[in-house]
Amino acid sequence: MNTMSNIQSSTAKLLINGQFVESKTSEWQDIVNPANQEVIGRVPFATMDEVDAAIASAQAAFATWRHTPIQARMRIMLKLQDLIRANMKDIARVLTAEQGKTLADAEGDIQRGLEVVEHACSIGTLQMGEYVEGVARGVDTYTLQQPLGVCAGITPFNFPAMIPLWMFPMAIVCGNTFVLKPSEQDPLSTMMLVELAIEAGIPAGVLNVVHGGKDVVDRLCTHQHIKAISFVGSTAVGTHVYNLAGQHGKRVQSMMGAKNHVVVMPDANKEQTLNALVGAAFGAAGQRCMALSVAVMVGESQNWVNDLVEKAKKLNVNAGHEPNTDIGPVISPRAKARVTDLINSGVEQGATLLLDGRDVVVKGYEEGNFVGATIFNHVTTDMRIYKEEIFGPVLAIISVDTFEEAVALVNANPFGNGVGLFTQSGAVARNFQNQIDIGQVGINIPIPVPVPFFSFTGSRGSKLGDLGPYGKQAVQFYTQTKTITSRWFEDSHEAGEVNTTISLR
Ligand code: NAD
């Protein structure tokens, strides 16, 4: 595979019919290191002919791939997980250079995706159909889980390893072919994973990659040969993709924006809770869809706020590849401007700014898009910092008197990606998991992203579509259930009888 130095000296390639090719487009975008604005590569916005060629190659490959035995498909995933593990450090270095997160967190990004590949090595039991013998005389009913055809994935900038790996391994191992459209902001680490997938033995046309923005995405959403689309990204774009692809008859899942709360009960283990809150709010510079953005302090736990601020003050803001960095830069100057604008709005709307990360300057990286840990107290639900997804290292604190008030507050928020509860009481925890209307719940866990044999189950405003992107639900998403009802009389000469009713006899 490419090493970091030669991948940086090249452009992000398209992958069409097994060949890594340079786009013929005239539209390109620089890939920029967010820590210092160094241009480390460039990405094409593919032409419509190139997108069509990628889809055509996937369509042609499907004819053979769908009949490749599932064991052979799983064996490629077994090879892929081995290759990813062996190349993890190289991929992490590129990921940090283009995305900004710390090297340790970049390895975490790859590791969480790798776990999906590991699960794809053994999906045989999940793609089994069902069988009931003898539903009428000589009649059996059974189901097949058949691949759909060409599926597409559209991914965001914040997890350039994990999220592509949520998608193409599961789609492909189920017998589909795939067209991936990575984020145009940081496609290089994604392409390293794609190279490994080809090295692992994925045949020509089974996995294709096109780069670009709205035009490419819209083509995927409307093309007659695309059967299903998995999207992860912002709420505005995810809603557009869901509507457009849905209108064109495709199966769609959109995993979107969030505003994740943690409820802190006064009986919680204080140190454990505050450590968890700081990591979840400020890790990855808050650029996780499961990042903690609102802490709801119940009763006496509101007295812990100053200690929380003291812990957050100790976080080290620096370039992601520097040792001991806790908070790297946000992805772009535009993202930094958005975050600081939202912090300004919090001040203007009357929240108490306890820790201000706006003016952080990092020695040696003065041009970087850095924002330090920022904490607001006395936030109210009408403020922009409460209502909007900030996607930066900003934590809003709201205090309430009772558990019931906390649950009502969280349930009234339109988003439903993740929520946490910190308590030492099993009874409170059990009530919480029952009453809270959020798709992923952490009990004494701040970022409850499920492991791959479960599914990612964000809900309400954070998700459109029924099925999640990995685990059992992904196998359902990427397959069509075909139900067969068949009759074989024991005597093949038996004539049967005329039956004018709907009943089976
Ligand atoms: P984004 O919506 O800007 O981009 C996502 C993808 O859509 C990219 O591939 C991009 O090229 C494409 N795109 C951008 N604008 C488009 C347009 N107008 N029409 C069609 N396609 C377009 O998201 P982002 O900024 O890359 O990622 C951050 C967002 O993703 C946050 O809102 C975050 O919460 C969300 N996210 C959600 C999850 C989840 O599982 N719910 C996971 C990760 C990220």
CA of 232 to the centre of ligand 1 (A): 6
Active site residues: 289
According to CATH, the topology of domain 260-443 is: Aldehyde Dehydrogenase; Chain A, domain 2 (3.40.309)
254 lines ligand 1 (CB under 6 A): no
Q: How far is CA 254 from the centre of its chain?
A: 10
Q: Which two tokens stand for residue 415?
A: 């988003």
Q: Give the closest residue to 317 by CA, choosing from 150, 145, 102.
A: 102
Tell whether ligand 1 has an atom less than 6 A from the beta carbon of residue 460. Answer: no
Topology, domain 24-256: Aldehyde Dehydrogenase; Chain A, domain 1 (3.40.605)
User: How is the chain split into domains, by residue range?
Assistant: 24-256, 260-443
170 to 156, 166, 178: CA distances (angstroms): 18, 7, 10
Check the CA dihedral 104-190-286-450 and report its sign: negative
3-state secondary structure 377-441: ECCCCCCHHHHCCCCCCEEEEEEECCHHHHHHHHHHCCEECCEEEECCCHHHHHHHHHHCCCCCE
150 - beta bridge partners?
A: 177, 226
Q: How wide is the angle at C-alpha 377 spanned by C-alphas 444 and 306, nearest 5°?
A: 70
| Ligand 1 atom with the shortest distance to the CA of 463 | 41
Q: Is the CB of 154 under 6 A from ligand 1?
A: yes
Q: For residues 423 and 420, what is the distance between their CA atoms, to the nearest angstrom?
A: 10
- Write out the two tokens for 167: 């998608």
pLDDT tens series, the chain, 505 aa: 444 444 444 799 999 999 999 999 999 999 999 999 999 999 999 999 999 999 999 999 999 999 999 999 999 999 999 999 999 999 999 999 999 999 999 999 999 999 999 999 999 999 999 999 999 999 999 999 999 999 999 999 999 999 999 999 999 999 999 999 999 999 999 999 999 999 999 999 999 999 999 999 999 999 999 999 999 999 999 999 999 999 999 999 999 999 999 999 999 999 999 999 999 999 999 999 999 999 999 999 999 999 999 999 999 999 999 999 999 999 999 999 999 999 999 999 999 999 999 999 999 999 999 999 999 999 999 999 999 999 999 999 999 999 999 999 999 999 999 999 999 999 999 999 999 999 999 999 999 999 999 999 999 999 999 999 999 999 999 999 999 999 999 898 999 899 999 998 8
Closest residue by CA, ligand 1 atom 26 = 156
Q: Where are the beta strands (DSSP E) in 12-149?
A: 14-16, 19-21, 28-32, 39-44, 131-136, 139-147
pTM of the predicted model as reported, rounded to 2 decimal places: 0.96
Atom of ligand 1 nearest to the CA of 255: 41
3-state secondary structure of 351: coil
Q: Which atom of ligand 1 is nearest to the CA of 236?
A: 2
Three-state SS at 56: helix
Q: Evaluate: CB of 181 within 6 angstroms of ligand 1.
A: yes
Q: Do domains 24-256 and 260-443 have the same CATH topology?
A: no
Q: Which residues are 264's β-sheet partners? A: 297, 422
CA 238 to centroid of ligand 1, rounded, Å: 7
Cβ of 234 below 6 Å from ligand 1: yes
For the purposes of burial, counting CB atoms within 10 Å of the CB of 138, is it exposed (0-12), middle (13-18) or buried (19 or more)? middle
